[in-house]
């Protein structure tokens, strides 16, 4: 949960699952991590196919569980389920721009357009759980409605403990450069998010008045980045064994059949920028067998399996 000047690992759908969170913790054991966003409907319906909605967060420690939805009652019920699962705090998604979430369900970024409903949802969740509740949002719906400051006040008035601010609008999606407005006179701490990659970036946010920083895409293929920013870990020279460890965690969690295709995207991130990586990606994208995938990893990074 939040303490001053912390660095968070961002919630990322399809990425920040338990194996990825474990990789982050290999290099920075105390970094607070957030789950992928979880639909309040799938949680309350206890959809068993959403295996990762039912992780035991207590054993991991300091995991924020992120929920999305538009119904205050279901959001409260979902939050309670996550408390029982050991979440350290609940994060409410008020920034997801994906049409399925924001326009068709009236959740995620849509709540930047309906602060009244946003307030009701936050109040319902903060009233239902004893652990802290945070909100993750953006600058506004589009360039003409950058009213994030109003939403921060709504969040504070309804009991939220802090807000993470992604420095883009819903309309911008993930494109363009993130803008981080100076933080002045906000009632609760604001965590900066968007394009942050280095210690210098994080220090810059501090100067702007932010109480912490959240790293998203810069952690893809670089789960050690938190250790690097915190100054405890050097960028590893050969990452082959790190990649194998991640694959092994994925296999243990999802089973080999599901893990192998899921791991291809991680291999693309791990190998980005390395000579011959385009060929490597073509090869691994055609592989469905776990031993073949491991062999390709061993060959590409020239490492010896030690897992």
Ligand X SMILES: Cc1cc2nc3c(=O)[nH]c(=O)nc-3n(C[C@H](O)[C@H](O)[C@H](O)COP(=O)(O)O)c2cc1C
136, 180, 246, 266: residue in contact with ligand X (rule CB under 6 A): 136
Burial class (CB in 10 A: 0-12, 13-18, 19+), 273: exposed
If one asks whether residue 174 binds ligand X (CB under 6 A), the answer comes out as: yes
The count of chain residues that interact with ligand X, using the rule CB under 6 A, is 23
DSSP structure string for 52-93: GGG--HHHH-SEEEEEE-S-HHHHHHHHHHHHHTT-SEEEEE
Give the binding range for ligand X (CB under 6 A) out of 50-58, 214-222, 231-239, 299-307. Answer: 214-222
Closest Cα to residue 182, out of 217, 139, 215? 139
Look up 96 and say whether it is catalytic.
yes
Stretch that binds ligand X, among 194-202, 235-243, 255-263, 266-274 (CB under 6 A): 194-202
- Contact letters for ligand X, residues 229-248 (x by CB under 6 A): --------------------
Among 87, 96, 165, 244, binds ligand X (CB under 6 A): 96
Closest CA to 93 of 131, 57, 64: 64
Cβ neighbors of 16 (< 8 A, separation 6 or more) are 9, 10, 33, 34, 35, 36
DSSP state of 27: H
Per CB under 6 A, 105 contacts ligand X = no
Based on the shown chain and the rule CB under 6 A, indicate whether residue 64 belongs to the binding site for ligand X. Answer: no
Asked whether position 216 contacts ligand X by CB under 6 A, the answer is yes
Q: What is the dihedral of CA 74, 80, 83, 88, to 10 degrees?
A: 50
Q: Is 36 in the site for ligand X (CB under 6 A)?
A: yes
Which CB sits closer to ligand X, 62 or 193? Answer: 193
Q: Please give the residue ranges that form the binding site for ligand X (CB under 6 A).
A: 10-14, 36-37, 66, 93, 95-96, 136, 166, 174, 178, 193-196, 215-218
Task: List active site positions.
Answer: 96
């Amino acid at each position: 949960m939040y303490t001053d000047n912390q660095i968070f690992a961002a919630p990322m759908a399809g990425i920040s699952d338990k194996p990825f969170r474990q990789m982050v913790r290999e290099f920075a054991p105390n970094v607070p991590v957030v789950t992928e966003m979880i639909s309040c409907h799938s949680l309350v319906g206890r959809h068993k196919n959403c295996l990762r909605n039912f992780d035991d967060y207590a054993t991991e420690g300091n995991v924020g569980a992120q929920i999305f939805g538009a119904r205050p009652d279901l959001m409260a019920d979902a939050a309670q389920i996550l408390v029982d699962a050991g979440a350290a705090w609940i994060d409410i998604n008020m920034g997801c721009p994906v049409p399925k979430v924001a326009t068709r369900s009236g959740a995620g970024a849509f709540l930047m357009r309906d602060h009244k409903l946003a307030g009701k949802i936050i109040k319902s969740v903060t009233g239902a759980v004893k652990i802290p509740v945070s909100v993750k949002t953006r600058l506004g719906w589009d360039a003409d409605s950058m009213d994030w400051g109003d939403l921060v006040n709504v969040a504070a008035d309804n009991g939220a403990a802090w807000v993470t601010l992604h420095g883009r609008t819903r309309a911008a999606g993930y494109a363009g450069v993130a803008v981080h407005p100076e933080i002045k006179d906000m009632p609760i701490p604001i965590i900066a998010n968007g394009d942050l990659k280095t210690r210098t970036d994080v220090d810059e946010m501090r100067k702007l008045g932010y109480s912490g920083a959240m790293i998203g895409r810069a952690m893809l293929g670089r789960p050690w980045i938190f250790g690097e920013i915190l100054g405890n870990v050097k960028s590893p020279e050969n990452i082959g064994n790190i990649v194998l460890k991640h694959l092994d965690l994925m296999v243990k969690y999802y089973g080999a059949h599901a893990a192998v295709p899921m791991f291809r995207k991680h291999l693309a991130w791990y190998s980005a920028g390395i000579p011959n990586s385009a060929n490597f990606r073509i090869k691994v994208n055609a592989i469905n067998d776990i031993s073949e995938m491991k062999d390709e990893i061993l060959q590409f990074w020239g490492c010896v399996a030690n897992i």
